[in-house]
Structure 1
Amino acid sequence: MIVDIRALNNYNIPDRYPIPRIPETLTPLSKAKFITSMDAMKGFQQNALTPHARELLRIIAHCGIYEYLRMAFGIENAPSHYQIMMNTIFPHELSEGWLIIYIDEIIICSETWQSNLERLSLVLRKILQLNMKRSLKKCNFGFHEMKALGHVVSGLSLCVDKNKVSAVLLKQIPQDKNEMMSFLGFASH
């Protein structure tokens, strides 16, 4: 069943929980020699709804009444709620500075292969205890360099992923006022 729940967002009180800024989030990678990343499988749908939230997301259709049991895609506060959930699960790991969480992506930073394995084991135990699913296709284990959060990261460098900015790189240099205005419109998106 496909449901457009955008109208519900008009009545939603925006959640002000901060989503981490990507450049600051990736700072701990500066000393990492081994990096592991794991992305959630249908991340928002792993976030259980309260009974009150289920009532708000009740759908009346010609074939019956349905309620979401998990966070629906398109809810305005879904990213911040997911970030809160993940930060609550891993408070000690985050405070130690070797774990990065950006909404549904987990990144483990380590200076040695052994510590990467130990940290991965700790994180996986918590994930399994909570029955959280990870997308194996989107997992990278123990790399020296990898793509994460739109950047190519390693212990030596932090670069923007060229695939993410290819349209900007291919854009011609403006030659006159009209082309400059066109470029500024392009750049603002």
Structure 2
Amino acid sequence: MQKSKSEAIPERERSTGFQKEVPFASIPDLDAEIDRLVSDGVISSVDHSEWAAPIVAVRKKNGQIRSCADFSTGLNDALQLHHHPLPTAEEVFTKLNGGRVFLQIDLANAYLQIEVESRSKEMLTINIHRSLYRYNRLPFGVKSAPGIFQQIMDSMICGLQGVAAYLDDIIVTGHTYEQHRSNLRALFNRISEYGFHVRLEKCNFLMHRVRYLGFVLDKDGHRPDPEKIEAVR
């Protein structure tokens, strides 16, 4: 499992956020979600912290509850930004140029697969109705998380042919089926080396056309996605 660290700006005041009220009807589902995160080692209960962010309970389309930490209440102002650039669309499509077969890969809870260094964990404390909990993995919503994650992705795919990654949105292609399979094997070997887990049921295999970063991508190149254009009209 990959590790990350977050650095606070020296002398910046610590922040403890108040709990945000969770609808009473959502508490049982939220408790179940917290229990799952504890069981999976994502968070751990703590007695005290100089940092504590409130959470927002969001109900997903499938009816399940997702707990989202609101680090905008103090921590993000105190964090040093991780200055690793995100790739531009043109940089991504240059890597995929000439591809005829595509596969989009879904990493399961991508950020939460990144382990946080011990000294960074105290800053990643959340304040909920039943206790304080500290993240052991990199949570969504931390200002430095995108740069940290992209740096790991860039390292993971370095030297691989026909592979691009924009945060956790990974795509692999090839000029032929044989080349596609070869590129795919190399990518999955690298994913295994880095300790990531793939959600196979959400991967799109052997696609001749994919939607990626607001574009439609196929053997003829890339062009703006008509659905995205229509949405902004």
TM-score (norm: length of structure 2) = 0.65
The percent identity for this pair of structures is 27
For the Cα contact (< 8 Å) 1:49–1:71, is it kept in 2?
yes
Unaligned runs of at least 5 residues, structure 2: 1-33, 35-54, 56-68
Higher-strand-fraction structure: 2
For the Cα contact (< 8 Å) 2:157–2:164, is it kept in 1?
no
For the Cα contact (< 8 Å) 2:96–2:164, is it kept in 1?
no
Deviations 1:99-140 (A, max 9, x none): 111111211121110111122122122323444122334422
- Cα distance in structure 1, aligned partners of 2:164 and 2:220: 17
Higher-helix-fraction structure: 1
| 1:18/1:42 CA distance change after superposition, 3 Å | same
Runs of 4+ deviating beyond 4 Å: none
Unaligned runs of at least 5 residues, structure 1: 172-189
Deviations 1:41-91 (A, max 9, x none): 221111111111101112355644421011111111111111111112222
- Cα distance in structure 2, aligned partners of 1:38 and 1:24: 19
1:20, CA displacement in angstroms? 0.3
SS at match of 1:118: helix
SS at match of 1:147: strand
Q: CA RMSD in A?
A: 2.0
- Cα distance in structure 2, aligned partners of 1:23 and 1:51: 37
1:117 aligned residue (144, 169, 181)? 181
TM-score (norm: length of structure 1) = 0.78
| 1:152/1:67 CA distance change after superposition, 3 Å | same
- Cα distance in structure 2, aligned partners of 1:28 and 1:61: 44
Match for residue 77 of structure 2? 10
